[in-house]
Amino acid sequence: MSSVVPLHPAPTAETSAPRPRQLAAQYREVRARTIALIGGLSAEDCQLQSMTEASPVKWHLAHTTWFFETFVLEPAQRGYRAVNAKYRVLFNSYYVGVGPRHPRGDRGLLSRPSLEEVLTYRRKIDTRMVDGLLQGGWSDEILDRVQYGLEHECQHQELILTDIKHHFWCNPLRPAYKAVSVNLNLGEHPSALEFVAYEGGTAEIGHEADGFVLDHERPRHRVWLEPFEMASRPVTNAEYAAFIADGGYRKAQFWLADGWDLREKENWRAPLYWLAEDSDAPRAFTLTGIVDLDMEAPVCHLSYYEADAYARWAGARLPTEAEWEHVAGQDCAVVADDANLLERGLLNPGPGKGEGRIRQMFGDVWEWTGSAYLPYPGYKPPPGTLGEYNAKFMVNQMVLRGGSCVTPRSQARATYRNFFAPHSRWQFSGIRLARSLSTRTRETSGAA
Ligand SMILES: [Fe+2]
């Protein structure tokens, strides 16, 4: 399989240009990056659906296009004529307000339209979108929807990679998405895991500034934090291997009941994609093929249940999302230029470097928090059908923070809220530990 086309750089829209022209530039860049991601895939690759949650690449390509057609072009242009009226059902993910939807688990059965037809669909919508933006006259509400569509497309760029990884994992040939050898171990060694103390008190989380963020990141509001400690870096493969070696997957006392049952039913014995987990040098399936695991890189592809069990075994817990965001605001206000995000192209978590007292909050792995995905106080979903984007998922999901090695850089921000069901393992999800710090301990340690 040939290697993929190099990724486009992060959006560099003309910031002094009028908003529609800026959006047109961003639109071209984001859409081109999606196409770059599939440069090494065949039409057969793009058809695969390995499980209900992991959609075919072809469906992602069509659905993101459907999003612009349905939520921007239709309301913006009187008498709009759809490219193909049947796509309204085929590529509607979950928007009940739009109408009927093709079953999620049956997306892999859509051999028609072909990949070529879907790419033609993309090109037609791209022309209509850019023409519409450059001609001017779209309302602020429509322009906000363009911004939503761009954020949405970035989310699906990550999903294209996490889903193709799972599709390829299910093939005994274990093909690589990117066949070129990627040297993950750059001679960097993570520093010893340390816990940094925070005194807590009243803090503020959520987004307050102007500019686009997703609806569920607002409003900014006050929270109360008891004194706590946050780990200086994510948990590594070596540290997680010690949990396995100590029988962590066989000791019920560390597990939530739902997780223990699922572990038994699914025969979990190691993170998803690990091979020969009992050896001293485990190997793993990655987007770059089967590799020797870098034991100093962050562990990933864990469910919430495994992350929680590890934390209990380690005498710690998962941070709350409020603690995580508070620490990010204090110690990682700027995302490092070399953060291991999608644009860096490594496609795997790597060992962190020793800058700052809190490291690797953005990039490498999403970090499970102990917080259920709920609306912030005063949250209001957007009016109309776009209100379904996040609001209706605020049950039975846990929040993850930070971003992974396949997250576009534009989504690496302290207020960004990712969420998945606790059994999910196919995302690049890892662990950062936290500990509660009693007032008495704080007084004796002099923590600030
Ligand atoms: Fe979507």
pLDDT for position 104:
98
- Whether a cis peptide bond, with omega within 30° of 0, leads into 113 is yes
Ranges of the chain with pLDDT below 70 = 1-16, 180-189, 277-279, 354, 439-448
Measured in angstroms, how far is the CA atom of residue 146 from the centroid of ligand 1? 14
Measured in angstroms, how far is the CA atom of residue 250 from the centroid of ligand 1? 37
Global pTM value:
0.93
Measured in angstroms, how far is the CA atom of residue 315 from the centroid of ligand 1? 38
Chain position carrying tokens 């816990």: 195
Quick one: which H or E segment has residue 241?
A: helix 237-245
Measured in angstroms, how far is the CA atom of residue 214 from the centroid of ligand 1? 13
pLDDT for position 3:
31
**Distance, CA of 254 to CA of 122 (rounded, Å):** 48
The 3-state DSSP class for residue 231 equals strand
Measured in angstroms, how far is the CA atom of residue 155 from the centroid of ligand 1? 8
Measured in angstroms, how far is the CA atom of residue 92 from the centroid of ligand 1? 8
- Residue 307 has φ and ψ, to the nearest 5°, of -60, -45
Measured in angstroms, how far is the CA atom of residue 437 from the centroid of ligand 1? 40
Sequence-ordered list of residues with C-beta below 8 angstroms from that of 292, at least 6 positions apart, any chain: 281, 283
Measured in angstroms, how far is the CA atom of residue 446 from the centroid of ligand 1? 48
Exposure letters 36-71 (e unless 16+ CB within 10 A, then b): ebbebbeeebbbbbbeebbbbbbbbbbbbbbbbbbb
pLDDT for position 11:
41
Maximum C-alpha span of the chain: 71
Of the candidates 426, 352, 435, the residue with the CA atom closest to the CA atom of residue 53: 426
Q: Are 366 and 318 in contact (CB under 8 A)?
A: no
Exposure letters 221-234 (e unless 16+ CB within 10 A, then b): eebebebbbbbbbb
Measured in angstroms, how far is the CA atom of residue 171 from the centroid of ligand 1? 26
pLDDT for position 10:
38
Measured in angstroms, how far is the CA atom of residue 62 from the centroid of ligand 1? 10
**Distance, CA of 349 to CA of 336 (rounded, Å):** 15
Measured in angstroms, how far is the CA atom of residue 420 from the centroid of ligand 1? 14
Measured in angstroms, how far is the CA atom of residue 224 from the centroid of ligand 1? 34
pLDDT for position 281:
77
Measured in angstroms, how far is the CA atom of residue 406 from the centroid of ligand 1? 17
Measured in angstroms, how far is the CA atom of residue 319 from the centroid of ligand 1? 28
pLDDT in tens, 178-199: 986 555 555 556 778 999 999 9
Measured in angstroms, how far is the CA atom of residue 63 from the centroid of ligand 1? 7
Task: Indicate the burial class of 357 (C-beta count within 10 angstroms; 0-12, 13-18, 19 or more).
Answer: middle
Quick one: which H or E segment has residue 286?
A: strand 283-286
